[in-house]
Amino acid sequence: MKTTMISRTVAALFAAAGMGFASVALAANPAMSRDAYNAEKDRVDASYKAEVAQCKSLSGNAKDVCEATAKGHRDVAKAEAEASYKNTAKSRYDARVAKVEADYKVAKEKCDDLGGNQKDVCVKEAKAAEVKGKADAKVDKVATEQSQDSVKKVAEARKDAAEDKRDADYKVAVEKCDAMSGDAKSRCVADAKQRFGRS
């Protein structure tokens, strides 16, 4: 039951972080001018400074989470502005990866409020979400590239993404077993190995 609550907590954290990192810049400006791009970077820097200033009144892990969130907002907004300015598949991919990394850093920081195996599971779930997000971003990047062998590349990217996701899920499942002992732990690990095709 505790593990389910942790899973829901991590999922909620990523959903909340995703809403916080949403940017109007990319949607509103499909091809940004250099002046608009420079102005957006200046606006992002000013917003970051203001957000970090608000973190100073906090302490402990709440302050760390606040600062990680502010950095995430800054990094994502800058990456999205660059994607809008350059309007390339690579810049759009980089913006998507910036969001995944920002979500991961905030979720991992929030895990510090937990202890023992709950914290370990929380960190593994955050890492699994990061791996999945990056894998999906890579598949989408390959799918948007125009080339004769793009169908083959997309299939390979999807296969690699599925393997990365399965590996991440396996690590989470095994970490959850660490809260158990004796035969229950052995059965849990054996079940995880069977479910994820490990020997």
pTM of the model: 0.73
DSSP codes of every residue in 138-183: HHHHHHHS--TTHHHHHHHHHHHHHHHHHHHHHHHHHHHHTT--HH
How many C-beta neighbours within 10 Å does residue 179 have? Answer: 16
| Contact between 128 and 168 (Cβ < 8 Å) | yes
- In tens digits, the chain (199 residues) has pLDDT values of 444 444 444 444 444 444 344 343 344 445 789 999 999 999 999 999 999 999 999 999 999 999 999 999 999 999 999 999 998 889 999 999 999 999 999 999 999 999 999 999 999 999 999 999 999 999 888 887 765 567 778 888 888 888 999 999 999 999 999 999 999 999 999 999 998 888 7
